[in-house]
Amino acid sequence: MNDHPHHRFIRPPGKGININVPELWAYRELLFYLAWREVKIRYKQTAMGAGWAVLQPLFTMIIFTLLFGRLAKMPSDGVPYPLFSFTGLILWIFFSNALSHASTSMVDNAQMLSKVYFPRIFFPAAPVISGLLDYFISLLVLFALMVIYGFAPSVGILLLPVILGGTILFAIGLGCILSSVCVKYRDVQFALPFFIQLAMFASPVIYPVSMVPDNLQWLLYLNPMTGLLDLHRSVLLGHMAPDLNGFIVAIGISILVFVLGVVYLKKTEYYFADLI
């Protein structure tokens, strides 16, 4: 009889807060597998499949056009309101869906998290990356709308990968923090949808930045999505010069939030397997 039973401890190697790039690279195929699995789970047993990636922003755009474009007469920097709102919506929906799924990613993958070790940042990162598929499908619809309304992208469209990169860093950074907190406090999954709704109205999705008084615009730019949405709209529609200062601020804050998120996750991941 064995008097010394074996115990398996799930612990990450090392206890530093640094980002282990060689380790992330070694597990890179797992990240893409998790992202693809997110896509398959999202559209499993749905009649419309990836068509929901189009319907969600399209129907939201129709409702916003009736409410804010026709009834409230919201300004749109000279762009037809349906096109103005749809351009903002596709980036906002990508961000909000990514953050929603990332914030519950640890809890949703409790079985995997408690049985095997790999970089925990992959849990919130996978749903963010998987959301890119929906974004690019919606982007095709936007290009069709631009043809209908007679708009063409500016040469600034070359900045689109950087805009997406900033949005991804911001979403993963917040996702790392919220998913770590959610392991201990499940209130996150109930409170987050409410705050995302509020955050949309604090971001220039349905209105232009120019609508806000000049002396208050700096408050709007504390939200990184302001600079990202503003540049996203201007490089795709080419209706105005890109605000690079606001974009630089947005990228700076996004990188800061990403680093803080990774540091927080590294400092808290040691108790995940015990609490999940």
Residue 99 domain flag? yes
Structural domain of 248? 48-274
What's the pLDDT at 41? 85
Residue 26 domain flag? no
In the block, tokens 């309101």 appear at: 81
What's the pLDDT at 1? 44
Residue 192 domain flag? yes
Residue 38 domain flag? no
Residues 6+ apart with CB under 8 A from 122: 27, 30, 31, 34
- Determine contact, residues 50/18, Cβ cutoff 8 Å: no
User: Which tokens in the block code for residue 142?
Assistant: 């936007």
pLDDT one digit per residue (tens) for the chain, 276 residues:
445 555 555 555 555 556 678 888 888 888 999 999 988 888 877 777 778 888 989 999 999 999 999 999 999 999 999 999 999 999 999 999 999 999 999 988 888 887 888 888 999 999 999 999 999 999 999 999 999 999 998 888 999 999 999 999 999 999 999 999 998 888 898 899 999 999 999 999 999 999 999 888 899 999 999 999 999 999 999 888 888 899 999 999 999 999 999 999 988 887 777 776
Residue 2 domain flag? no
Q: Give me the number of domains the chain comprises.
A: 1
Q: How far is CA 206 from the centre of its chain?
A: 18
Whole-prediction pTM: 0.88
